[in-house]
Structure 1
Amino acid sequence: MIKRIYPQIQGEIESGEDVLEEYSRDWSIFKINPSAVAFPKNSSDICTLVNWASLENKNGHRVSLTGRSAGTDMTGGPLNESLIVSFSRYTNKIISIGDKEATVQPGCYFRDFDKATLRKNLIYPAYPASRDLCALGGIVNNNSAGEKTLKYGKADKWVKSLRVVLSDGNEYEFRGFSGKDLEAVMARGDLFGRVHREIFRICTENKELLEKAKPKTTKNSAGYALWDVWDGRTLNLSKLIIGAQGTLGLVTEATLGLIIPPKHSRLAVIFMSDMKEIAKVVDICMKFKPESLESYDDSTLKVAMRYAPEMLSVIGAKNIVKLAYDFMPEIWRVIRHGMPKIVLLCEVAGEDEEEIKSDLDRLKANLSGEGFEVRLAATEEEAKKYWAIRRHSFALLTRHAGERKTAPFIDDVAVPYENLYQYLPALEETLKPYRKFFVYTVAGHVGDGNFHIIPLANLSDPKVRALIPRICEEVYRLTVEHGGTITAEHNDGLIRTPFLNIQYLPEVINLFEEVKRLFDPLSIFNPGKKVHGDIAYAMSHIK
């Protein structure tokens, strides 16, 4: 079947052993061998692929298309047994960069985009931690976020418009429409008009249900964001496609908002011995409008201290004396007071350096007055050390883990931060019975109540594999009981789609399925993600 499409596109379709092996994996625990990988040269090729897939399915031949950019997804999102559509080879360009926005193709690596915008003293602020490895297509399709999200929001706030190939094989521009423009769009006789009419109907007829379904967290990537597309004036279906993991269509271009980065920043490091006080600390920090409010636990700090030479090489420390000196405050702190239970990083940024210094001095005074230990990073180099611990410790642990491998499956929970003082101890108790099989660190975006728990485990052990669905269910039920979401920014994919019914009522799941049928009646686009998840299928494809 796939051979029939070869001569119809300008790009290539490959099925060599090396290519299939590369595209059978992402950063998740799964491995699924595709039939082939397509490398479209342009939007016309993508339209051709969609038309071919539609025709094959109508003729009784089951094929599907799964888009992929950098392949750094942690959920199995870009994995599929049929045809992978890779944007990395050709559709990877920066089309334009203006004063306030830029237009890019999905295969463009963020690191290249970032360098290009910085040359104009501009940044895209909702970048994820994988900024040096990920691509813009993944950022958009997962509704990604990162350490600056507390102040600037997620991808959905910064995507101005999208160009998307839908299941009819045509490319359309999705953005917000209101007034006469919305009337004109809804009057159209094509699929573009139909999806706008039907989504408007779904949102208005189910307003109360959707308002109740929307998580109370500041970040959420679980399910389809129906609650965000209609605000009473503007209908913006790009909000639905952002974070849909390519299940509604294939994004070919994204126009993203940009900002001028703040000139100055300063970092406060807060050491805590009891997680029960975390909500109080976050409350105090939030009064100073931090750009970032991040955290890591005692296990993360132990990894950093154990592998200090490797850790500090990340930030350019040159010799062993410098290494020892850089970590002396942490060593001395442990000797005097023991290992902190959790460390918070509070970064304030702005245009006035003296104002920032004054804010951090007041923050330290406020926290110290409540009995918390605070250290203000004196230099940019010292701040880099703490950020290196937050960003790179798990990679170090992975390299030294022996037969254990990275196993992201409860890696992206979030609760309202005021519930953290109850949630984190309960989470620790939930995970305690499984420590024989799993080693894990906990780090995250504490200002958003978002934590990344990525265990190390021997995935070849049948006992470990059997525990994964059980732990998922226990952790996700606990998270929802505390007002949270099962995924704040990493999305659903193979691993979490089967558990969406823990977070959402059956009526909401039915709406998600209706959305999928509306956009993709033949289930051409990335099947098994967002709706109709199958945990047995997922577990049978652990690598």
Structure 2
Amino acid sequence: MDKHILKELRRILGPDSLLTSWEDRACYSYDATGQSFLPDAAAMPETAEQVAAILRLANEHRFPVIPRGAGSGVTGGALPVARGLVITFSRMNRILEIDAANMIAVVEPGLITGELQAALKKRGLMYPPDPASLKFCSIGGNAAECAGGPSAVKYGVTRDYIIGLEAVLPSGEIIKTGVRTEKGVVGYDLTRLLIGSEGTLAVFTKLILRLLPLTESKATFLLTFPDLAEATKLVAEILSAGLLPCTLEYMDRTAIAAVRDRLKQPLPDGTAALLLVEFDGSKEEVHQQAARFAKFVAEKGNCVLRQAADEQKTAELWLARRSISPAVLSLRPHKIAEDVVVPRSKIPDLVAFTERLAVELKLLILTFGHAGDGNIHVNIMLDKSDPDEHRNGLEAKERLFRFVLSLGGTLSGEHGIGITKSAFLPLEIDPASLQLMRRLKQLFDPNGILNPGKVFPKFSASSC
């Protein structure tokens, strides 16, 4: 990016909205992977028209453009691996509309997910997707990765609540997709195509969200188990029994140890695993589900059941759960964080495999996550400065992926592919489907300027 390009960007954005100092650029060089790539500059647009002008300039001069949410991704999806210009949406962070009568909201991509949920709660409404990083992740980033969260077992994931988009194509054209209504089948479903495309096909500038009425009541339970297999086996049995929790979370012994100081309540000696189970709905529905659940657990025997007494105790439990990912770095300096998904009935097989893998490769491997929908987070802890440990960690990752696919699972439930999983895409996607995806990328972005190097290694710095 030469002086002419930077001058044009300042003209488009204004002098205070283009960051070129080393210190400023360093702030947009990394994400939660721990990897870092310094961009040439960072832009802070305020309108869709500015985004469009940036992309037209990028197409003309063939420099990479990398859309970035809050930088909380763990697969490198927002890393500027080919340098270029990072677009940050910190100034496009408004709630533009809350239409309570039709239960929709229109928001900008830089809006923090937790801030949206807090604003809707005051109106008696809810936006169900709730990634663990909701206090700092953005709606645009959630949409790019199709984020999930603990509530996905009952309510679904981000793509289930985005019904329309305003987006800018790599050519600089502004398009509007989807509807503001409950139904709409006119033309191809471009909204669903763009959600989860990891910033490789278009840049989001507005999102139309489907909302739900805020639930009246909740009941939260903590189950502790002396046996890991018993905990994982119970997951499928809970749902097969006709119980419908809004969250069903799982933590193994090592994950528990990492956040024990945040639990603020003693656990039974010898606790090997726990389940965090929550029901929501009307007071009557929650009372009935809670009573049925307590009876169901009592008949199982080999666990201890506690119900959170009040909102404070519930908040303490969720603080512990949402703190796992950063807390585990107290165990080892680095981690390989994977978010594989298997059929719920196969969770015991997956967890048993990770235990065997840890012993065989002399690694610390922990498991936790959204057991209700089979989305288990597997963290392979290691010290990258130890060559043997680093090599064993990478071997564990590949063997994990192959085992997950053998169970009928998938390599990612919510983190996406980015750069950390792209080499493994052919393990899951057949050649014809991969070729179709590449053709779609070529159709949307013939010059390869938009988020190059992600998902498909073909679209790397050398192609820009």
Answer yes or no: same fold by TM over 0.5: yes
Correspondent of 1:21 among 19, 26, 30: 26
What is aligned with 1:240?
Answer: 193
SS at match of 1:525: coil
Q: 1:295 to 1:534 in 2, by over 3 A?
A: farther
Q: 1:518 to 1:151 in 2, by over 3 A?
A: same
What is aligned with 1:92?
Answer: 93
What is aligned with 2:224?
Answer: 271
SS at match of 1:116: helix
| CA deviation after TM superposition for structure 1 residue 468, in Å | 4.3
Equivalent-residue separation in structure 2 for 1:430 and 1:514 (angstroms): 38
Q: Deviations over 1:431-457 (max 9, x none)?
A: 333334xx3432100011111123333
CA contact (8 A) 1:494 1:533 kept: no
CA contact (8 A) 1:268 1:374 kept: no
Equivalent-residue separation in structure 2 for 1:279 and 1:303 (angstroms): 19
Q: 1:455 to 1:276 in 2, by over 3 A?
A: closer
Correspondent of 2:248 among 278, 285, 293: 293
| CA deviation after TM superposition for structure 1 residue 145, in Å | 0.8
SS at match of 2:214: coil
1:76 maps to a residue whose letter is G
What is aligned with 1:9?
Answer: 12
| CA deviation after TM superposition for structure 1 residue 182, in Å | 7.2
CA contact (8 A) 1:414 1:479 kept: yes
1:51 maps to a residue whose letter is R
Query: Are residue 349 (structure 1) and residue 280 (structure 2) matched?
Result: yes
Equivalent-residue separation in structure 1 for 2:253 and 2:185 (angstroms): 52
CA contact (8 A) 2:382 2:393 kept: no
Q: Deviations over 1:206-245 (max 9, x none)?
A: xxxxxxxxxxxxxxxxxxxxxxxxxxxxx31111110111
What is aligned with 1:422?
Answer: 349
What is aligned with 1:491?
Answer: 416
Unmatched runs of 5 consecutive residues or more in structure 2: none
Q: 1:351 to 1:2 in 2, by over 3 A?
A: farther
CA contact (8 A) 1:15 1:36 kept: yes
Q: In proportion to residue count, which structure has more helix?
A: 1
Equivalent-residue separation in structure 1 for 2:413 and 2:384 (angstroms): 25
Q: 1:145 to 1:480 in 2, by over 3 A?
A: same
What is aligned with 1:73?
Answer: 73
CA contact (8 A) 2:9 2:54 kept: no
- Counting only pairs closer than 5 Å after superposition, residues 396-435 of structure 1 correspond to structure 2 as 396-398=327-329, 400-401=330-331, 404-409=332-337, 411-435=338-362
Structure 1 vs Structure 2: percent identity of aligned residues?
26
Query: Are residue 501 (structure 1) and residue 454 (structure 2) matched?
Result: no
Q: 1:532 to 1:304 in 2, by over 3 A?
A: closer
| CA deviation after TM superposition for structure 1 residue 160, in Å | 1.0
Q: 1:514 to 1:418 in 2, by over 3 A?
A: same
Q: Deviations over 1:307-360 (max 9, x none)?
A: x2xx25xxxxxxxxxx5xx32xx1xx21xxx222x211111111124x423322
CA contact (8 A) 1:128 1:146 kept: yes
SS at match of 1:9: helix
Q: Deviations over 1:241-296 (max 9, x none)?
A: 10111100111111111112211111222223444445652233222111111110
Query: Are residue 140 (structure 1) and residue 140 (structure 2) matched?
Result: no
| CA deviation after TM superposition for structure 1 residue 83, in Å | 2.7
Correspondent of 2:383 among 458, 481, 505: 458
Unmatched runs of 5 consecutive residues or more in structure 1: 58-62, 186-234, 313-322, 538-543
Equivalent-residue separation in structure 1 for 2:104 and 2:44 (angstroms): 27
SS at match of 1:495: coil
Equivalent-residue separation in structure 2 for 1:406 and 1:110 (angstroms): 27
1:525 maps to a residue whose letter is L
1:302 maps to a residue whose letter is A
SS at match of 1:285: helix
Correspondent of 2:372 among 432, 444, 447: 447
- Counting only pairs closer than 5 Å after superposition, residues 138-287 of structure 1 correspond to structure 2 as 138-175=141-178, 235-278=188-231, 280-286=233-239, 287=242
CA contact (8 A) 1:176 1:236 kept: no
TM-score w.r.t. the length of structure 1 is 0.77
CA contact (8 A) 1:494 1:534 kept: no
Q: 1:304 to 1:47 in 2, by over 3 A?
A: closer
| CA deviation after TM superposition for structure 1 residue 64, in Å | 1.0
SS at match of 2:358: helix
Equivalent-residue separation in structure 2 for 1:280 and 1:431 (angstroms): 21
Equivalent-residue separation in structure 1 for 2:95 and 2:334 (angstroms): 33
Q: Deviations over 1:158-179 (max 9, x none)?
A: 001011111221100111699x
CA contact (8 A) 1:297 1:442 kept: yes
CA contact (8 A) 1:176 1:238 kept: no
SS at match of 1:33: coil
Counting matched residue pairs gives 448
| CA deviation after TM superposition for structure 1 residue 304, in Å | 3.2
- Counting only pairs closer than 5 Å after superposition, residues 459-478 of structure 1 correspond to structure 2 as 459-478=384-403
What is aligned with 1:303?
Answer: 258
Q: Deviations over 1:86-122 (max 9, x none)?
A: 3333222211111111111111112322222222121
What is aligned with 2:453?
Answer: 528
Equivalent-residue separation in structure 2 for 1:281 and 1:303 (angstroms): 23
Equivalent-residue separation in structure 1 for 2:314 and 2:384 (angstroms): 36
Equivalent-residue separation in structure 2 for 1:533 and 1:360 (angstroms): 52
1:518 maps to a residue whose letter is L
1:351 maps to a residue whose letter is S
CA contact (8 A) 1:272 1:373 kept: yes
